[in-house]
């Protein structure tokens, strides 16, 4: 194992620049590796506004005929005709206007996962867009929100189906001044899917055995996709340093990311950059979590390795897949022969994250997760489960009382982890989703500082969410 954190701060690094940068999507913000990757990234949506600090885009969800599995065209759903959907990019402080049109044969919404925006713009199941309907999503991006987010449908009971059909995309927020130096940047949207022999998407018939297993495990697929591609390749020079933004868009698969033979430097998670980079041999990513990684070309020129996901036992024993205990390859990483050139150093401190003061907490809540239930109940669109006073700071204790992991997500408000099973979490960072492993508990502190209205909280295994493992929070 190559240890390189110590080197990181002590010496200047080398990275690839100097060659003619190839155009990367439509956003020439970052230098690009010289050799061609086979990894493609969704194009960045064109900003149609000429008003400063405004991002105005058009997004349509519609049926499409696409090759979701290699070589086989099938009936899919797509945003602007592509899977994943186009990437939306904005800066902190920008006003964002998304003109959305639903050309699907069913009701949908777009949920802006992780964004702190007005409740009626959140795309929750309470604000459906019917077939043929339109909605303008209008919101302003907070300062301090820079990070990697994503968008996906969130209609009542149909989220898993619509995501499986192809509806998901990335939403990247950039700060005015990024604390990291300009590095070649890659977006990796991880997903998995299951197909029948004819290439159609394998969604089991309701009440079949397969459907019951999916309902318990969450639907996993044996085809691993990065930006919709099977085993794409990234080339990296020996010594080159790249910045990867990784999104888990899978319905249920949890990733334990590792690159055999080298470490990562994790620089951020759901709500943007950490205060300090941390070196890791592997990085766990539960459903809808995001990470930002700094990856170094650590191998010998001409050699290759893979980005893998290592086995992780999140399952109930009776429905655990037989092949769960195998690593799976996601992406090829090949070390090119070109010599490294321009040195680069990373800052020791990326930013300061303000502390949410736990002494201000007026309410301590316990949220119990059991199989398919939150606090013993299934979701009811007409019920409010939790009442919160606008401006309150609260401590939530999420307690998983069953033998399966449940990734817990709160809409609209990012939080800071306090402890896991009573053991303090030392590093302060912003989260909107946290995995709660079987029979474990997690506590976090959250400040409901704005945006009154109704908000969702739920398990982000999409099958669990759709079957009612969700509650409604009302802020007054
Ligand atoms: Cu990714 Cu309720 O959301
Ligand atoms: Cu969300
Ligand atoms: Cu769950």
How many Cα neighbours within 13 Å face the side chain of 456? 31
At residue 132, the pLDDT reads: 98
pLDDT band at 391; cut points 50, 70, 90 = very high
At residue 32, the pLDDT reads: 45
Domain map of the chain by residue range? 2-14+182-345, 20-174, 358-475
Say yes or no to pLDDT of 466 above 90: yes
Say yes or no to pLDDT of 249 above 60: yes
Ligand 1: which residue has its CA nearest to atom 3?
A: 113
How far is the centre of ligand 3, averaged over its atoms, from the C-alpha of 405 (Å)?
7
Q: Rounded mean pLDDT of 289-310? A: 94
Q: What percent of the chain shows pLDDT beyond 70?
A: 92
Least confident of 11-15, 268-272, 400-404, 459-463: 11-15
Q: Rounded mean pLDDT of 137-146? A: 98
Ligand 1 proximity of 296 Cβ (cutoff 6 Å): no
CA-based max dimension of the chain: 62
Interatomic CA distance for residues 210 and 198, integer angstroms: 18
Ligand 1 proximity of 111 Cβ (cutoff 6 Å): yes
Name residues with Cβ closer than 5 Å to ligand 3, which is an ion. Answer: 406, 459, 461, 464
Q: Which atom of ligand 1 is nearest to the CA of 465?
A: 2
33-46: per-residue pLDDT in tens? Answer: 445 899 999 999 99
Q: Which atom of ligand 1 is nearest to the CA of 154?
A: 2
How far is the centre of ligand 3, averaged over its atoms, from the C-alpha of 166 (Å)?
21
At residue 36, the pLDDT reads: 86
pLDDT band at 81; cut points 50, 70, 90 = very high
Q: Rounded mean pLDDT of 174-187? A: 96
425-441: per-residue pLDDT in tens? Answer: 988 999 999 999 999 99
Least confident of 68-72, 112-116, 265-269, 287-291: 68-72
CB 242 within 8 A of CB 294: yes
At residue 344, the pLDDT reads: 78
Q: Which atom of ligand 1 is nearest to the CA of 288?
A: 1
Q: Dihedrals φ, ψ of 411, to 5°?
A: -75, 145
Q: Which atom of ligand 1 is nearest to the CA of 411?
A: 2
Query: Under CATH, to which class is 2-14+182-345 assigned?
Result: mainly beta
Ligand 1: which residue has its CA nearest to atom 1?
A: 113
Least confident of 210-224, 230-244, 333-347: 333-347
Judging by beta carbons within 10 Å of its beta carbon (0-12, 13-18, 19+), is residue 449 exposed, middle or buried?
A: middle
b/e per residue 140-167 (b: at least 16 CB within 10 A) = bbbebbbbbbbbbbbbbebbbbbbbbbb
Interatomic CA distance for residues 74 and 67, integer angstroms: 6
Fold of 358-475: Immunoglobulin-like (2.60.40)
DSSP letters along 290-330, please? EEEEEEE--SPTT-EEEEEE-----S-GGG--TTTTS-EEE
Q: How far is CA 276 from the centre of its chain?
A: 21
**Higher pLDDT residue, 31 or 179?**
179
CB 45 within 8 A of CB 198: no
Query: What are the C-alpha distances in Å from 388 to residues 196, 365, 382, 394, 455?
Result: 46, 11, 17, 9, 11
DSSP strand pairing (342-344 vs 272-280): unpaired
Residue 274 is encoded by which pair of tokens? Answer: 């950490």
Least confident of 16-20, 203-207, 394-398, 431-435: 16-20
How far is the centre of ligand 3, averaged over its atoms, from the C-alpha of 441 (Å)?
14
Say yes or no to pLDDT of 392 above 90: yes
Say yes or no to pLDDT of 341 above 70: no
Ligand 1 proximity of 245 Cβ (cutoff 6 Å): no
At residue 342, the pLDDT reads: 67
Ligand 1 proximity of 456 Cβ (cutoff 6 Å): yes
- As a whole number, the mean pLDDT across the chain is 92
At residue 9, the pLDDT reads: 33
At residue 287, the pLDDT reads: 98
Instruction: Give SS3 for 46.
Output: coil
Interatomic CA distance for residues 10 and 5, integer angstroms: 9
Residue 102 is encoded by which pair of tokens? Answer: 């639903």
At residue 19, the pLDDT reads: 31
Query: With DSSP H G I counted as helix, E B as strand and the rest as coil, what are the percentages for the chain, rounded to 5?
Result: 5, 45, 50
pLDDT band at 23; cut points 50, 70, 90 = very low
Tell me whether the CATH fold assigned to 20-174 matches the one assigned to 358-475: yes
pLDDT band at 29; cut points 50, 70, 90 = very low
DSSP H or E stretch at residue 9: helix 5-10
CB 68 within 8 A of CB 49: no
Say yes or no to pLDDT of 74 above 50: yes
At residue 348, the pLDDT reads: 93
**Higher pLDDT residue, 343 or 236?**
236
Q: Which atom of ligand 1 is nearest to the CA of 458?
A: 2
Ligand 1 proximity of 411 Cβ (cutoff 6 Å): yes
How far is the centre of ligand 2, averaged over its atoms, from the C-alpha of 409 (Å)?
6
How far is the centre of ligand 1, averaged over its atoms, from the C-alpha of 458 (Å)?
8
Say yes or no to pLDDT of 24 above 80: no
Q: Rounded mean pLDDT of 393-413? A: 98
b/e per residue 399-416 (b: at least 16 CB within 10 A) = bbeeebbbbbbbbbbbbb
186-229: per-residue pLDDT in tens? Answer: 999 999 999 999 999 999 999 999 999 999 999 999 999 999 99
How far is the centre of ligand 3, averaged over its atoms, from the C-alpha of 194 (Å)?
20
95-107: per-residue pLDDT in tens? Answer: 999 999 999 999 9
Write down the architecture of domain 20-174 according to CATH: Sandwich (2.60)
């Amino acid at each position: 194992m190559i240890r390189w954190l110590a080197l990181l701060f002590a010496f200047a690094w080398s990275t690839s620049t100097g060659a003619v940068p190839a155009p990367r999507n439509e956003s020439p913000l970052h230098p690009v590796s010289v050799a061609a990757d086979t990894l493609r990234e969704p194009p960045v949506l064109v900003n149609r506004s000429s008003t400063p600090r405004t991002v105005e885009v058009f997004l349509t969800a519609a049926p499409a005929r696409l090759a979701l599995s290699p070589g086989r065209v099938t009936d899919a759903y797509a945003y602007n005709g592509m899977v994943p959907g186009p990437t939306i990019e904005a800066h902190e402080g920008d006003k964002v206007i998304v003109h959305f049109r639903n050309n699907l044969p069913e009701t949908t919404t777009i949920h802006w996962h992780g964004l702190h925006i007005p409740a009626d713009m959140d795309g929750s199941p309470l604000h459906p867009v019917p077939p043929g309907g339109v909605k303008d999503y209008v919101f302003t991006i907070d300062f301090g929100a820079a990070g990697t987010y994503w968008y996906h449908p969130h209609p009542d009971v149909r989220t898993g189906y619509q995501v499986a059909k192809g509806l998901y995309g990335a939403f990247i927020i950039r700060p005015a001044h990024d604390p990291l130096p300009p590095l070649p940047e890659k977006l990796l949207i991880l997903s998995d899917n299951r197909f029948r022999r004819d290439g159609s998407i394998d969604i089991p018939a309701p009440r079949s055995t397969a459907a019951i297993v999916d309902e318990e495990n969450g639907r996993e697929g044996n085809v691993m996709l990065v930006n919709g591609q099977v085993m794409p390749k990234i080339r990296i020079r020996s010594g080159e340093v790249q910045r990867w933004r990784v999104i888990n868009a899978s319905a249920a698969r949890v990733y334990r990311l590792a690159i055999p033979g080298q470490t990562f430097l994790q620089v951020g998670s759901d709500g943007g950059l950490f205060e300090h980079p941390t070196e890791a041999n592997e990085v766990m990513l539960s459903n809808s979590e995001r990470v930002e990684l700094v990856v170094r070309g650590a191998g010998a020129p001409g050699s290759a390795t893979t980005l893998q996901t290592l086995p992780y036992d999140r399952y109930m024993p009776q429905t655990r897949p037989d092949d769960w205990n195998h690593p799976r390859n996601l992406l090829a990483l090949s070390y090119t022969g070109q010599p490294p050139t321009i040195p680069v150093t990373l800052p020791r401190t990326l930013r300061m994250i303000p502390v949410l003061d736990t002494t201000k907490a007026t309410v301590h809540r316990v949220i119990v997760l059991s199989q398919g239930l939150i606090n013993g109940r299934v979701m009811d669109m007409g019920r409010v489960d939790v009442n919160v006073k606008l401006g309150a700071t609260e401590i939530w204790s999420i307690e998983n009382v069953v033998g399966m992991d449940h990734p817990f997500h709160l809409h609209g408000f990012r939080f800071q982890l306090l402890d896991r099973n009573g053991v303090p979490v030392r590093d302060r960072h912003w989260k909107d989703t946290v995995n709660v492993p079987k029979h474990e508990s997690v506590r976090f502190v959250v400040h409901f500082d704005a945006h009154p209205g109704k908000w969702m909280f739920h398990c982000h295994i999409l099958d669990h969410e759709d079957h009612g493992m969700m509650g409604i929070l009302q802020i007054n």
